[in-house]
Structure 1
Amino acid sequence: MITLTLADIVDALGGRLVPGADGSGPTTTVSGISQTDSRLIEAGEIFFARRGEETDGHRFIGQAIDRGAALIVAEREVDDRVAQIVVDDATIALGALATEVVRRVTELGRLRIVGITGSNGKTTTKNLVRSMAERLGPTVASEKSFNNEVGGPLTMLRVTAVTETLVAEMGASGVGEIARLTAMAPPHIAVVLTVGLAHAGEFGGIEQTFRAKSEMVTGLPEAAVAVLNRDDPRVAQMAALTRARVRWFGLSDEADVRASRVVASAEGTRFTLEVGEESYEVSFRVLGEHHVMNALAATAVALELGLDLTAVVEALEATTVAARWRMEVMGGRDGTVIINDAYNASPDSMSAALRTLAQIAKPEGRTIAVLGAMSELGEFAGEEHDRIGLQAVRLGISEVVVVGAEARRLHISAINEGSWDGESVFFENADDAYAYLTGTLQPHDTVLVKSSNAAGLRTLGDRLGEAFA
């Protein structure tokens, strides 16, 4: 974070300064990054005592000070050993400080802000953009999937006077949330990947999802760039909602950055990258042809940032995994492949992962889909789990292993598909599924582990990967 006095921070937050017993007051400066977890605090950092759903950060102010916190932002006075700024809402204050820091750094004239949203692919695209932007200069990007009202500001507060690119993943569970994030860090380049059923239950339907995601581009000025998916009809509609210049990506001939001759295999995906009159053969080692769209979006961003196409291709070919628990290839013993893709799951990403499993199947082995529930689908949950069960059957997946009561309907749909000569098995928990799989997997089997994060199958995928390492 840039250096600010406590008086600067008070002005930004609209709070009340309580000087610390250590002598800290209005002219005291801080430059440490901000945290909302007292266990992560290091000397000189700022602790925001948020009230969460499960706990209250005010309980941990003492621990934060013991660990070296230089400033506490809280909703009431608790511990006077260091300065405190008392505010009405610590979460809103976190966003206010992020807004001020980004504003000051932007005014220096160096910072370019890239905002990324979509129902699927945000983290993968963010990681790709970060790897490309780092070739141009100092870059700050969201850690893990920090993309909400807390994670977004925490990322923004890491920018300094020398930061050239901020890559901000911007997610939402309702209308208005992306607008708040873009107000904190107004994008120079705004990316919309997809509009699908991920979190549709929280949004209240696909049209509300469209409305929420379109907030990424509706407020852009003419000088900004909207990077939009030409192949997604709902994303394509957003071109009419923005004043910004539009740059298309996709497989369509109408895309400015496009891919052709896409071939998926167990080693990754090969495709021809086409930009204008230039074309490059790309060996993209990230598993799953659906990640090609993320690669195209990242390419469009990198070109807007000023990276040449040769360097873009080098960055794509240097990437070996999208992100932790996203089509992560593990295992290897006796030719057994474990694909751990259980960080999140929507109908679109589940469908894409199953297609990948079918495409990369080894002729001498079986394909096993270990599937858990897709969360936050609301009224669409039943029919979408039905659809995935039927798709697994129709793709010829050798066996479906369904885990967890919330996914049982997927299992029932699979076994009710009478034309299938395979089988589906159901387990209440991951431990039982692990015992079954370790006892039945054969050499050269390819196993996909896929679920929403809430289903908890990430650790099952890790355990299988270790067991067959």
Structure 2
Amino acid sequence: MIALSLAEIAAVVGGQTYDIPDPSVRVTGQVVRDSREVEPGSLFVAFAGERVDGHDFAAQVVEAGAVAVLASRPVGVPAVVVDDVQRALGALARHVVQKLGATLVALTGSAGKTSTKDLIAQVLRHKAPTVFTPGSLNNEIGLPLTALSATEETRFLVLEMGARGIGHIRYLTELTPPKIGLVINVGTAHIGEFGGREQIAQAKGELVEALPPAAEGGTAVLNADDPLVRAMAARTQAKVIFFGESGEADVRAENVRLTDRGQPAFRLRTPSGASDVTMRLYGEHHVSNALAAAAVAHELGMSADEIATALSEAGSLSRWRMEVTERPDGVTIVNDAYNANPESMRAALRALAAMGSASKAKGGRTWAVLGKMAELGDEALAEHDAVGRLAVRLNVGKLVAVGGREASWLQLGAYNEGSWGEESVHVSDAQAAVDLLRSELRPGDVVLVKASRSVGLERVAQALLVGGVEGEVAAR
């Protein structure tokens, strides 16, 4: 964080200082909510959760070097005390962002947010110091913590914004007002909470509504291939730039293809020129993510050649998202178990099918180890059934559906597609999946593991990687 005195912080957040001998002492380190991340000069934010109360760690963090605690009550050590810690954190983030002078890029979408954010960050780092959201810390706590990690040297601040209802993104844009706003897509993730795709579009579009007018440098980057996103152009006074595979897109991909390893390659065309890209990531769905990143980079002054070079070098920065690892025995594990929705599940299955084409020539098979997609509401049965059927249509070698009712719908969809016999199986839990795979995997096989975060299927991938065929599922 940029250095601020405790007196300045108290004034910004409307708090009172307690047990602070010298209010001119400055916070020079990071603002953190995890006591394990405290370093000399930190400000520790004490949240009172259902299981753990950060206030209980106040003395420990000060001993570890924290300058003070942002708290909702006096804690016996230097503290700035406020009525609402979360809102105080947001106010502090807004103050710091206003002082920074960095260009703030915000993005949202139903699927691919984190992968796209990682690509944008890796491209922009070629131009200037860039700070970006770690993992998926995209809510009212994670977003301001990311913003507060910026320093005087930061030139680009890339923030992922998530939403679980109308008004959520509007609130986040009030904390960290963006200059460039990117909407990737409108899908069915969290449709059970929103009630429909139109409501999701309403929520995601709050981002472009928050942008400054074009005359003040505001730019909305929109997906030309998604009608609900394209329509958001009418909801902003900012400049609009479209990306996609459509010929009408300002930033588009031509001659899209996959390498024999399932990695996308294409000709990137921007208003400033064209250049070839071959990505290190896996799956054709990353083409759209790359185009979104390219559109942002183009608006920030990068040439087509610079963008193409950066995209070709970019890797995965966030764990359990299409992490591809080949074991010594020739089995490839694709750990995409961080989360799942119908769009990302279909994309992962297509990536698996592409990766499996080379392995099949050597006698290898493709395995889809899948579990529940959460928060689909009334669409849950139909969407799980459709994913099971898609696995058959893509000629995936075997579907292993893991878990309860939703997993049974996956398996039943595959079975009812009609072209499989014993190629689909329903198992009760992660350990049962590992036991099955342990007994049947052979060199050349490619295994995709994917489900919603709550299922914890990353344990299957970890067991297969850490222990090979002897791996056990670790406790959660």
1:86–1:291 CA distance, 2 compared to 1 (3 A): same
RMSD: 1.7
- Residue 407 of structure 1 and its aligned partner are, at CA, apart by 2.2
- Residue 237 of structure 1 and its aligned partner are, at CA, apart by 0.9
- Partner residue in 1 for 2:22: 24
- Partner residue in 2 for 1:118: 109
- Residue 52 of structure 1 and its aligned partner are, at CA, apart by 2.4
Matched position secondary structure for 1:17: strand
- 1:273-308 per-residue CA deviation (whole Å, 9 max, x = no partner) reads 112473222111210000111100101111111122
Q: 2 CA distance for matches of 1:208 and 1:54?
A: 33
Q: 2 CA distance for matches of 1:468 and 1:29?
A: 50
- Partner residue in 2 for 1:336: 331
Q: Does structure 2 retain, via aligned residues, the 8 Å contact 1:142–1:168?
A: yes
- Residue 440 of structure 1 and its aligned partner are, at CA, apart by 0.1
1:13–1:136 CA distance, 2 compared to 1 (3 A): same
Aligned-partner residue type, residue 22 of structure 2: S
1:289 aligns with 2:284: yes
1:187 aligns with 2:178: yes
The correspondence of residues 100-115 of structure 1 with structure 2, limited to 5 A, is 100-106=95-101, 111-115=102-106
Matched position secondary structure for 1:236: helix
- 1:324-357 per-residue CA deviation (whole Å, 9 max, x = no partner) reads 2111111244432211111111100001111121
- Partner residue in 2 for 1:368: 367
Q: 2 CA distance for matches of 1:301 and 1:86?
A: 39
- Partner residue in 1 for 2:472: none
Matched position secondary structure for 1:258: strand
**TM-score between the two structures when normalised by the length of structure 2:** 0.93
- Residue 209 of structure 1 and its aligned partner are, at CA, apart by 1.2
Q: Does structure 1 retain, via aligned residues, the 8 Å contact 2:262–2:283?
A: no
Matched position secondary structure for 2:70: strand
- Partner residue in 1 for 2:473: none
1:211 aligns with 2:218: no
Q: Which runs of 5+ in 1 are unaligned?
A: none
- Partner residue in 1 for 2:398: 399
The correspondence of residues 301-340 of structure 1 with structure 2, limited to 5 A, is 301-321=296-316, 323-340=318-335
Aligned-partner residue type, residue 391 of structure 1: L
Q: 1 CA distance for matches of 2:121 and 2:315?
A: 14
Matched position secondary structure for 1:438: helix
- Residue 215 of structure 1 and its aligned partner are, at CA, apart by 0.9
Matched position secondary structure for 1:178: helix
Matched position secondary structure for 1:360: helix
- Partner residue in 1 for 2:10: 10
1:461 aligns with 2:461: yes
- Residue 368 of structure 1 and its aligned partner are, at CA, apart by 0.8
- Residue 365 of structure 1 and its aligned partner are, at CA, apart by 2.0
Aligned-partner residue type, residue 37 of structure 2: L
Q: 2 CA distance for matches of 1:465 and 1:307?
A: 39
- Residue 162 of structure 1 and its aligned partner are, at CA, apart by 2.0
Q: 1 CA distance for matches of 2:199 and 2:56?
A: 37
- Residue 445 of structure 1 and its aligned partner are, at CA, apart by 1.4
Q: Does structure 2 retain, via aligned residues, the 8 Å contact 1:336–1:468?
A: no
Q: Does structure 2 retain, via aligned residues, the 8 Å contact 1:228–1:246?
A: yes
- Residue 63 of structure 1 and its aligned partner are, at CA, apart by 2.2
1:202–1:59 CA distance, 2 compared to 1 (3 A): farther
Q: Of 31, 34, 44, which aligns to 1:34?
A: 31
Q: Which runs of 5+ in 2 are unaligned?
A: 470-476
Q: 2 CA distance for matches of 1:36 and 1:360?
A: 40
Q: 2 CA distance for matches of 1:9 and 1:252?
A: 48
Q: Does structure 1 retain, via aligned residues, the 8 Å contact 2:262–2:354?
A: no
Q: 2 CA distance for matches of 1:442 and 1:377?
A: 35
- Residue 412 of structure 1 and its aligned partner are, at CA, apart by 2.3
Q: Does structure 1 retain, via aligned residues, the 8 Å contact 2:13–2:92?
A: yes
Q: Does structure 2 retain, via aligned residues, the 8 Å contact 1:449–1:457?
A: yes
Higher deviation after alignment, 179-188 or 238-247: 179-188
- Partner residue in 1 for 2:258: 264
1:175 aligns with 2:169: no
**Identical columns (%):** 47
Matched position secondary structure for 1:306: coil
Matched position secondary structure for 2:188: coil
